[in-house]
Amino acid sequence: MPHHIRHLARLLLFLAAIPVLLGSTSGAAALAQDGTTGATPPPAFDLQPAVEWLISQQEDDGSFIGAEGTSEAGITADAIVALAAARQAGADTGTSIDDAVGYLESGEVAMIYIQNGVGSAAKFLLGLAAAGENVDDFAGVSPLAIVENSQDQDTGLYGDSIYVHALSLLALDAAEVEVPASAVDALADAQAESGGWGFEGLANPDAADSNTTSLVIQALDAIEGDDPQLVTDGFAYLATTIDDEGAARFDNTPDSLPDANSTALVAQALIAVDADADAQLAALTQFQNETGAFFFNSDTPDDDILATVQAIPALAGTALPFVPAA
């Protein structure tokens, strides 16, 4: 899309969204936009404590420990994105990124992980792109080839969920590969009446959540999808997941608590469209422990590596896909 048309589309998006995002509910008010460009980290926030905690979790082989308690390529790729975003924002990351890339390159780590499916290949690719590595030829494998060749020609989807589909579109954009129009059509087909998208997508058209919706908005912005109404409606849904302080919940059900991951993802969606995410970024800092790590939500206040690697890029002022400046 030509730059001037994209700029107009964004302007129309904000004009259309203002009545919803400035509505009477507290959640909508917390997500209000003023159309200013370039969301930035809150001035008082220092990325270094979070970065230092994250580096303290790195194993001697450069890996990070996943949910199963063993070194895992997926969380290592996520950590690379967080560390690379923090480094660009001025944090000292030492040799941690190179060490993590070294782990991904070792043995059969890359080959085994990307064969888990398109979602794994896309996540791996995003980590490599953030580190400035070759996404088409790394350790003898091509995560890009797996993503490129995984689109279902009937549904237009990459993978088996809308979340994986959005992750794949972000990976393709990071690799500077043109995304077929059918991939955007698939997102239009999967959008719920609420304006959001859910992890299950076509399998449950009424479901929506803030995580999937935020990732889809970042993907649509990255690939310059030509239907701004999709994004406008997506933000209308996100407004229903925001509390009085600007923190986001996974969904808008009564029992859903605000959490760090959802808040960070909503902030990144706003950052992606050059909107003001200050309320969400300020709320995100309230999930940080004294150790520098972030916790998931008020029911689980322990240091959480998944929450930390999600929070750092948002507080560094970056959206997905993150590719370091040349």
Q: Is the pLDDT of residue 38 over 50?
A: no
Q: Is the peptide bond before 49 cis (omega within 30 degrees of 0)?
A: no
Q: What secondary structure, in 3-state letters, does 52-91 show?
A: HHHHHCCCCCCCEECCCCCEEHHHHHHHHHHHHHHHHCCC
Residue type, 302: D
Enter the DSSP assignment of 244.
T
In a domain, 325, yes or no: no
Q: What is the pLDDT of residue 224?
A: 85
The string of pLDDT tens digits covering residues 203-255 is 676 789 999 999 999 999 999 876 799 999 999 999 999 999 999 999 999 89
Q: CA-CA distance, 19 to 168, in Å (whole number)?
A: 32
Q: CA-CA distance, 303 to 288, in Å (whole number)?
A: 8
Structure tokens at 29: 């008010």
H/E stretch holding 198 reads none
In a domain, 282, yes or no: yes
The string of pLDDT tens digits covering residues 260-294 is 999 999 999 999 999 999 999 999 999 999 999 99
Q: Is 158 helix (H, G, I), strand (E, B) or coil?
A: strand
In a domain, 320, yes or no: no
The H-assigned helical ranges of 89-161 are 96-105, 109-114, 118-131, 143-148
Q: What is the pLDDT of residue 32?
A: 33
The Cβ of residue 301 has, within 10 Å, a number of other Cβ atoms equal to 11
Domain extent at residue 220 = 3-315
The total of structural domains in the chain comes to 1
The string of pLDDT tens digits covering residues 106-130 is 999 999 999 999 999 999 999 999 9
In a domain, 90, yes or no: yes
In a domain, 195, yes or no: yes
Q: CA-CA distance, 215 to 57, in Å (whole number)?
A: 26
In a domain, 114, yes or no: yes
Q: What is the mean pLDDT of the chain?
A: 88
Q: Is the pLDDT of residue 79 over 70?
A: yes
The CATH number of the domain holding residue 237 is 1.50.10.20
Buried residues in 169-178 as b, exposed as e (16+ CB within 10 A) = bbbbbbbebe
Q: CA-CA distance, 302 to 305, in Å (whole number)?
A: 10
In a domain, 323, yes or no: no
The stretch 26-30 carries a mean pLDDT of 35
Kindly list the distances between the CA atom of residue 142 and the CA atoms of 90, 128, 180, 261, 324, in Å, as whole numbers in the listed order: 31, 11, 20, 29, 20
| Percentage of the chain exceeding pLDDT 90 | 80
Q: What is the pLDDT of residue 140?
A: 95
Q: Is the pLDDT of residue 3 over 60?
A: no
Q: What is the pLDDT of residue 257?
A: 97
Q: Is the pLDDT of residue 4 over 90?
A: no
Q: Is 288 helix (H, G, I), strand (E, B) or coil?
A: strand
Of the listed ranges 44-48, 90-94, 125-129, 146-150, the one predicted with least confidence: 44-48
Q: CA-CA distance, 269 to 277, in Å (whole number)?
A: 9
In a domain, 219, yes or no: yes
The string of pLDDT tens digits covering residues 173-206 is 999 999 999 999 999 999 999 999 998 776 676 7
